[in-house]
Amino acid sequence: MTDEEPQQVKIEIYTSPTCPYCPAAIRMLQKAIDVYGKILEVTKIDITTPEGGELAAYYEVQATPTIVMNGIVRFRGAPPSESHLFDEIETMLTEDQIKNAAKKRKAQRREIDMMYG
């Protein structure tokens, strides 16, 4: 991306009550919210509800969790790692947004190192 208009990323996570991988994917998204803040608009969609089922059909969701970013399916199944998730988010951000997020990630790592190091 360029350094023009700030970007917002709309994320939809498709889940089901019996999904064993959904809680981990939701935790990863929560960490992303902690880093990127208001840049992210995250919506959790339960595919077992009528509305969720309709949206899931539109995106051809065949497994949960499925993560859609700005209308494009980015992950079918849980993201392999937090880094992969953050990398996908950053493909949709400006350079300034990425730099600000990198500072927050670095501060979080320092805080974790202080707690456990």
Within 10 angstroms of residue 76's Cβ, the number of other Cβ atoms is 15
Q: Minimal CA–CA distance to 56: which of 79, 9, 48, 24?
A: 48
Check which CATH number belongs to the domain holding 48 and give it: 3.40.30.10
Does residue 4 belong to any structural domain of this protein? no
Does residue 1 belong to any structural domain of this protein? no
Does residue 69 belong to any structural domain of this protein? yes
What pLDDT, in 10s, does the model give residues 92-113?
999 999 998 888 888 877 777 7
pLDDT computed for residue 4 by the predictor = 58
What pLDDT, in 10s, does the model give residues 37-64?
999 999 999 999 999 999 999 999 999 9
Does residue 76 belong to any structural domain of this protein? yes
Q: Is 79's pLDDT higher than 80? A: yes
Number of domains, the chain: 1
What's the CA gap between 91 and 29, in Å, rounded?
A: 16
Domain assignment of residue 20, given as a range: 9-116
Q: Minimal CA–CA distance to 36: which of 91, 114, 113, 110?
A: 91
- The answer to whether 41 and 12 are in contact (CB under 8 A) is no
Could you give phi then psi for residue 13, rounded to 5 degrees? -115, 120
